[in-house]
Structure 1
């Protein structure tokens, strides 16, 4: 009999039985509602979270204006904690363009002009609401990092950047030739509503190798290498249908690009602090919905190594409208209802929400992880620290 008891005890350690000894947890004890981000309750809450932190992730639902305002608020609150950097879901060239425009006398006008010249080259941030954030970052002496891949219709923008900045005549002539081809391909894609028409699908290894052969400048080489990397990543999704590789290679690229910025920043700041504004999946700790360990997981461990911590928000609309960011869509914004996408515990809370923002502190719930919570809710509470739901979200104001 003693052996049986020992086996049962070991099994109970390996596979805890869900909810058999604990009382049901009331989520309202861990949440609150506000109509304005500036309310003292939320300021006190965020300042406590920011203490001894190194990284803040805002995992967003793309296309709604409230996320930009939310990130802007956090950036203001984080000034007392030495945060000066905003990291966004673009490549380095797009981030440089955004910072330059945000530094200009008329940022919105500059951004609109760029969008007219290179439409849809900078996704997610072609709107006035996010430029309030970018301008605020620059005004406070901050920097903007872009760690993502080059967007699929962005080749023409990057060719133009190389043309404008290089001192290498041979490279300049070649990228101007390629920019013309990329412009023609984009117009064809829009006219024919053809996702396979952009220049990324024409860009081949011979052209890539030829570009690399024209320069020995490290910065130019890196820009060109990023073009080929993004072609590989998109190919895993659109051509070979290797979706894990698509997500994993993109995650690896984000980590590598982040490391490059981080090491450079360390030359003047031992432990740089960064606020990230990325799609919700990229802000999750641990194994993400796409079964990879993303940039957010790297940052969370890095903060721990530095005796600090990271904060991971997921910010979603409950219902509302969102910008589509699709040149082929019949409308620039569409209504949405995310209710059924949330875990059942959140679905049960939604009818009682009366104010604009619902804030649920997930982190302290982890010690009750086996107290009758659904699997979906458990995943949410371990991937993110704080859930913010927005009632009647609005599409951002596009250019």
Structure 2
């Protein structure tokens, strides 16, 4: 697992040979260290950057609890600036399920029940720490948007959703049959460590078309279309190995799904403001590491057209442990050490970090970037506005 984390960080930063300069920039002038996000320095720093903003992206290292804590703090600080929507890395059905659970009298208990019924159907959010964030959003009368593809082992959950909400008897009866097959496929896949046995590989075009012929409700049709789109996206990755198509098709889907929410909200509010909690790559401005212009870039341009701006954070652990959102992993938690995978400028700073969080104002470094920094560090400076590093990161508490 250490190799996986190192590869992830190396790809994020695209390390290149360090370009030495006669005039090294003292990063301490552009950074500060804190023990928690209630620190006055952090509050003042954040509020200044939220002024006249429309979107905030929290680009995370998956699996560490501090990202949820950070996002919760940003959500609270952003309330006076008109932010009431949290956008997460799920599809719309998962976001709706999470909303219902977070609105209940026993969010953790009900979240655990859903996870027991449909294990790993919502992989990034099967933990107590993120539900602290979700319940806070609901208590503040906020909303959740889910703009991502349906997860590959989520067919069980989405079939069940349609079954429980539709009055279309033929569709319901067919989906009850398919739900049973999907559950059995998942159980067999886990027991035999064969991800190819999951239902996504059995779902085919003929079956998909037959379900569309049965469906009459617009929402049911959209859920089914999203299932077929996720089949296409995963196929590019796992079958045809067309990785650019995999990432680009997913990025386009996230943009379309976001705009569906956005235009509905705009009917009620002329300037919807949204906080995003997504993987770090999805939070980058410009061309990201998979060579696509992702949802974050589109939102940054949208904010500009509305005479506002977007704010892009990268939140990464230096060392620690992270939960593995993979049902086929033998270990639910793995240690990591990213310290040697950061650009040299950051590696130089790491030994000086003594508090829990290190916050670096990347945006202020841009006028200095061309002459003084390595190519690897420049990529971070222009893709993100603020870098937050976490010492001794903890894995979130999985169900």
Q: TM-score, length-normalised on structure 2?
A: 0.94
Q: Which residue of 1 is the match for residue 216 of structure 2?
A: 216
Q: What's 2:157 paired with?
A: 157
**CA distance in 2: counterparts of 1:112 and 1:326, whole angstroms:** 17
Counterpart in the other structure of 1:271: 271
Paired residue secondary structure (2:148) = coil
Partner in structure 1 of residue 116 of structure 2: 116
Q: Give secondary structure in 1 for the equivalent of 2:367.
A: helix
Give the secondary-structure state (helix, strand or coil) at the position aligned to 2:86: strand
Separation in 1, partners of 2:377, 2:155: 40
Larger Rg, first or second structure (1 or 2): 1
Partner Cα distance (2:301, 2:354) in 1: 37
**SS at 1:216's partner residue?**
coil
Conserved 8 A contact 1:20-1:371: no
Higher relative contact order (CA 8 A, sep 6+): 2
2:356 is the counterpart of 1:356:
yes
Instruction: Structure 1: give runs of 5+ residues left out of the alignment.
Output: 1-17
Q: Is residue 288 of structure 2 the alignment partner of residue 288 of structure 1?
A: yes
Residue pair 2:195, 2:328 contacting (<8 A) in 1 also: no
Report deviation, 1:26.
Answer: 1.2
Asked if the contact 2:123/2:326 (under 8 Å) is kept, the reply is no
Q: 2:82 maps to which residue?
A: 82
- 8 Å CA contact 2:233–2:246 kept in 1: the answer is yes
Whether the 8 Å CA contact 1:24–1:372 is kept in 2: the answer is yes
Q: Aligned to 2:388, what secondary structure does the other structure show?
A: strand
In the alignment, what sits opposite 2:237? 237
Which residue in the other structure is 2:9 paired with? none
- Offset of 1:23 from its aligned partner? 3.7
Partners of 1:332 and 1:19 in 2: CA distance: 39
Query: Following the alignment from structure 2 to structure 1, what is the Cα–Cα distance between the partners of residues 278 and 22?
Result: 36
Say whether the 8 Å CA contact 1:22–1:371 is kept in structure 2: no
Aligned length: 382
SS of aligned partner of 1:149: coil
| Structure 1 position 320, deviation (Å) | 0.2
- Map of 1:320-335 to 2, 5 A cutoff? 320-335=320-335
Runs of 4+ in 1 over 4 A off after TM superposition: 18-22
The correspondence of residues 137-156 of structure 1 with structure 2, limited to 5 A, is 137-156=137-156
Give RMSD over aligned pairs: 1.3
Alignment of 1:120-131 (within 5 A): 120-131=120-131
1:356-375 equivalences in 2 (<5 Å): 356-375=356-375
1:18-69 CA-partner distances (Å, limit 9, x unpaired): 9999843211110000011101010001111111000000000000000000
In the alignment, the residues of structure 1 paired with residue 393 and residue 125 of structure 2 have an alpha-carbon distance, to the nearest angstrom, of 17
2:21, 2:372 within 8 Å by CA — same for their partners in 1?
no
CA-to-partner distance for each residue in 1:57-85, whole Å, 9 max, x for gaps?
Answer: 00000000000000000000000001000
Paired with 1:331 and 1:217, the residues of 2 have a C-alpha distance of: 42
- Alpha-carbon distance in 2 for matches of 1:67, 1:362: 19
Equivalent position SS for 1:134: helix
- The answer on whether the counterparts of 1:24 and 1:371 sit within 8 Å (CA) in structure 2 is no
